Amino acid sequence: MIRNYLKSIGASAMALSLLWAPSAMAEPGAWSDEPVRIVVTFPPGGASDLVARLLAQYLDTEFGQKAVVDNRPGAAGTVAADYVAQQDPDGTTLILANNAPYTIAPTRFKSIPYDPVNGATHVAYIGASAPGLFVQPSAGIKSLEDYITHVKDTPMTYGSSGVGSISHILGEAVDASLGVESIHVPYKGSSPAIQDFRAGVLESFYDLAVQNSDMIEDKEAVAIAIASSVRNPELPDVPTFKEQGYDIVVENWVGLSGPAGIDPATVSKINETVLAVFANPEVQDRLTELGITHRAMDSQGYTDFVANQIEVWAPLIIATGIAE
Amino acid sequence: MDILSSFYSGLLVVLEPHNLMYCFIGVFVGTFIGVLPGIGSMAAIAMILPLTFYLEPTSALVMIAGVYYGAEYGGSIASILMNIPGTPAASITAIEGYPMAKKGRAGVALFSTATASFGGGMIGMIVMAALSPSLAKLALSFGPADYFAVILLGLIAASAVSNGGALKGITMVVAGLMLGTIGIDLTTGDLRYTMGIPELRDGVHIVIVAMGLFGVSEVIASIRTNKGGSIAQKIDYNHFYPTREEWKSLFAPIMRGGAIGSVFGALPGTGQTIAAAIAYAVEKRVNRAKNLFGTGVVPGVAVPEAANNSATQTAFIPTLTLGVPGSPPMAIVIGALMIYGITPGPRLLTEEPDLFWGLVASFLVGNVMLIILNIPLIGIWVRLLQIPYKYMYPTIIVLICIGVYSLNNNVFDIWLTLIIGAVGYWMKLYKFEPAPLLLGFVLGPLMEEQLRRAMLLSRGDPMVFLERPISATLIAITVAVLIYAFYAAIRAKKITASTSSEVQQEGPNT
């Protein structure tokens, strides 16, 4: 990976000018002679970074489009989103977009230095993973119904991966929808929460469901429900909130976006190429392992999706109490 | 037997060629930076951190650990030859080491410290291998209240044993705590002390604080003080080996130093410097040659080195089995592991056995490498000390800037490091120690996090700290330590003022 990185730096240094011609027909393929930078809002490691690296790898090997991953973590993803918004809209700087800077930040922060919808070109949606609710096996809770009966009497503590994280937002959504008040215990990421859950001090937690399939198999945790619109093929036995009559869909989406004003021909070229990468069965297998369900969307569909998500999430974010 | 077979499988991991290479790079870079006056393991680890981002976790951890204990070896070289401690812990080594060098016995002192470092390192390694599995098993049931009690004990123990300048020490711990609260409050999501600067939302990274306080400020100070290159004695291989009597006098101090170091290393909060100071103070009371201490004796130079090296290894015990940093550099190690999606904690041993046992075995391999680097190749390091600082320090500033920038690819972080460095230099001028600041910075937020979490889980009932057996036991020990510290302070006042602060008084002027 380092060698690729160095190679692409070398390539960019040697590229004297930007030589590309927009093709009328969008066919998968390289869209720039320069290496494309995929900015990631998280430090190296973690699912988002892995998706970006997977994409970069297949763009190069399948379509000859050099790509490098550029990690710019900080301030809930807004540092990266702001940085990308200020780059030239030539398709060489893209961001692995997600909830944090585009869905949550607009409601959470008083002001953000970029416009999440019109200040960006949303090029290609990639997919989403959904969190679920897990309880201690010793509590004797087997279903959402059991859970409701239990928490109506005695509020439960639940762990999340942080204030304002997707697992916290889901917790608030469930509370609001069931009309209960649980005790939120925030952690720094999901693994310390799971550690406390396993130590028996935490009664329940919310976390991306597929990542905890081992605990479900080992009967260390009972998965009550998942917050996706349909069941996850990796966890066929875990029901959705939706199918049990509670319209709670809170998904962690990822997509590829760029600065505002990327030429439409380039946008469709990138969109087609990215879709072709994610149509590859090997890539799909990797996504499934990460618990991400892929869906194809064109640029317009993805832009509408982002705008819609901001609205859907706004009341949930306000309910978490993190909005400034 | 289980531990032995685990150790053996760890050894196989380290002996893979690429891991051997990273181990060597680690100990080499560690010694290199440790040799440079004032710039210790903290800055060394922070500088090598960006290199580890693209390695496998095991290789990365082996390399970081190598830097960490390598710096402790290297730290003694400058303190013996020039009376300028390469690391804070090595200032204790200078008490006996520099007089030995002046008497023309620098070679013997260096040989003894290398041997003692090796011995101490091995003691630390054995303690780590023997204790970690059972501690991890115990920690499986640890809750936030228990973690809070562990950190409380560590902080109290650290302040109880570090003597002198209590007011300045507390000021620094509080300053560290305040720095640590910058950013988003974990429990409520509120912003604290960010002053509207978006880059401060995530708080100040430990590498920035460490690089500023232990790197930049040292470089600024060197402009005025260190000109480099005045070495007490040329190393001469004919006068390298200790006499038969000295060989014999080495063994017991190494064992005692190693044992004391293991205890203080494993306690979060107390680290190598405190371990070395206490081991030296104890040795001065129990050693047969105690009357000669201060004039340059082999046991006196061996004991702090054994202690600080065993403390370096055992600092990994709470770091890896509890996720509580055993010393400030260990906070960087935890951060590095998190990048790989590995959460240090009681499950690390069973979930990542190759990582854990590979690291333990790397202590053996790395310490052997260091013996080779430090005894036959000592000449290289001596020559390194003679490089004029006007070439050395600008290079270090550049490395620091690169290291800091690579954390978040953000220029703001570089400015922040330089500002903290300037403040650190000011602190140096007024004799405020940076180590307690870093301690407060690392452990304070962690303690707050666990305290508030424990209170949330108990639904606001503070009795949880006394109801859980582990937490109650630890709090009882903490109270005992506090009572002992008060008792010792009163007794010390009664005897003479000098006994309580002998380590400070006899320390070299840096």
To the nearest whole Å, the CA of B315 is away from the closest chain A CA by 21
| pLDDT value of residue B297 | 87
In 3D space, the residue among B342, B199, B419 whose CA is nearest the CA of residue A72 turns out to be: B199
H-helix segments, B375-460: 378-385, 389-408, 411-429, 434-457
Query: Considering CB atoms only, which of A2, A188, A202 is closest to B457?
Result: A202
| Residue A102 DSSP code | I
Q: Which of B142, B187, B346 sits opposite A186 (nearest CB)?
A: B187
A162 pLDDT exceeds 90? Answer: no
Choose the closest CB to B186 out of A72, A188, A321: A188
Chain A interface test: which of B199, B337, B453 (most A C-beta within 10 Å) = B453
Touching A: B residues 403-422, CB under 8 Å: 408-410
Instruction: Kindly report the CATH number that applies to the domain delimited by A2-13+33-128+252-320.
Output: 3.40.190.150
For residue A9, the model assigns a pLDDT of 44
pLDDT digits (tens, 9 = 90+) for A264-317: 989 998 999 999 999 999 999 888 888 888 888 889 999 999 999 999 888 888
Mean pLDDT value of segment B323-340: 86
Contact yes or no for B320/B336 (Cβ under 8 A) = no
Question: How many domains does chain B divide into?
Answer: 1
Q: What pTM was computed for the model?
A: 0.81
Chain B residue numbers touching A164 (CB-CB < 8 A): 189
A163-167, B104-108, B366-370, B503-507, range with the lowest pLDDT: B503-507
Rounded CA-CA distance B69/B376 in Å is: 19
The answer to whether the Cβ–Cβ distance between B409 and A183 falls below 8 Å is: no
Q: How far apart are CA B430 and CA A82, in angstroms?
A: 41
| Alpha-carbon gap: A254 to the closest alpha carbon of chain B (Å) | 19
CATH architecture of A131-244: 3-Layer(aba) Sandwich (3.40)
Matching CATH topology for A2-13+33-128+252-320 and A131-244? yes
Q: Cβ neighbours of residue A102 under 8 Å, at least 6 residues apart?
A: A77, A81, A116, A120, A257, A306, A309, A310
Q: Check residues B361 and B79 and name the one with the higher pLDDT.
A: B361
Give yes or no for A321 touching B (CB within 8 A). yes
Query: CB A163 to CB B201 under 8 A?
Result: no
Of B228 and A299, more confident: A299
Looking at mean pLDDT, say which of B118-127, B213-222, B242-251 comes out highest.
B118-127
Q: Chain B residues with CB inside 8 Å of A208's CB?
A: none
| Nearby residues of B383 by Cβ (< 8 Å), 6 or more positions away | none
Residue in chain A lying closest to B205 (CA): A74
B contacts of A324 (beta carbons < 8 Å): 191
The pLDDT confidence band at residue B235, using thresholds 50, 70 and 90, is low
Phi–psi pair at A124, nearest 5 degrees: -150, 130
- Of A22-26, A55-59, A132-136, which range is least confident? A22-26
Kindly determine whether residue A74 and residue B199, on different chains, have CB atoms separated by under 8 Å. yes
Q: Mark yes or no for CB contact A189/B142 under 8 Å.
A: no
pLDDT reported for residue B508: 40
* Host domain of residue B281: 2-506
Q: Identify from A49, A157, A201 which residue to disrupt to test chain B contact, counting B C-beta atoms within 10 A and taking the largest count.
A: A201
Q: Give A196's contacts in chain B (Cβ within 8 Å).
A: 143-144, 453, 457
Minimum Cα–Cα distance from A154: chain B residue? B459
Report the C-alpha gap between B71 and B91 in whole angstroms.
13
Q: Above 0.90 for ipTM, yes or no?
A: no
- The burial of A16, by beta-carbon neighbours within 10 Å (0-12 exposed, 13-18 middle, 19 or more buried), is given as exposed
Residue numbers of B between 188 and 207 with CB closer than 8 Å to A: 188-189, 191, 198-199, 201-202
- Is residue B234 over pLDDT 90? no
d(C-alpha B200, C-alpha B36), whole Å: 32
Q: Which residues contact B236 (CB under 8 A, 6 or more apart)?
A: B107
User: Is B343 within 8 Å of chain A by CB?
Assistant: yes
Confidence category of residue B163, pLDDT binned at 50, 70, 90: low
Report yes or no: B144 at the A interface, CB cutoff 8 Å: yes
Q: Side by side, which strands form the sheet with A67-71?
A: A67-71, A36-40, A93-98, A252-259, A120-129, A293-294
Chain A: nearest CA to B252, how far in angstroms?
42
Q: Which of A183-197, A291-305, B395-409 has the lowest mean pLDDT?
A: B395-409
Interface of A with B in 108-137 (CB under 8 A): 113
Average pLDDT of span B434-449: 88
CA of residue A35 relative to chain centroid, distance: 24
Residue B510 pLDDT grade (very low, low, confident, very high; cuts 50, 70, 90): very low
pLDDT of residue B149: 93
Q: Is B449 on the interface with A (CB under 8 A)?
A: yes
Domains of chain A, by residue range, sit at 2-13+33-128+252-320, 131-244
Mean pLDDT value across residues B138-151: 91
Distances (CA, A) of A302 to A84, A267, A308, A314: 18, 12, 10, 18
β pairing state of A222-226 and A67-71:
unpaired
Distance CA B93, CA B221 (A): 22
Counting residues of chain B whose pLDDT is more than 90, the rounded percentage is 33
Residue burial A236-266, b: 16+ Cβ < 10 Å; e: rest: eebbbbbeeebebbbbbbbbbbbbeebeebb
pLDDT in tens, B22-67: 999 999 999 988 888 767 788 888 888 878 877 888 999 999 999 9
Residue B341, chain A, CB below 8 Å: the answer is yes
Taking CB atoms and an 8 Å limit, are B202 and A191 in contact across chains? no
Whole-number pLDDT of residue A302: 92
A76 vs B contacts (CB less than 8 Å): 201
Mode of pairing for the β-strands spanning A204-208 and B191-192:
unpaired
Asked if the C-beta of A2 comes within 8 angstroms of chain B's C-beta atoms, the answer is yes
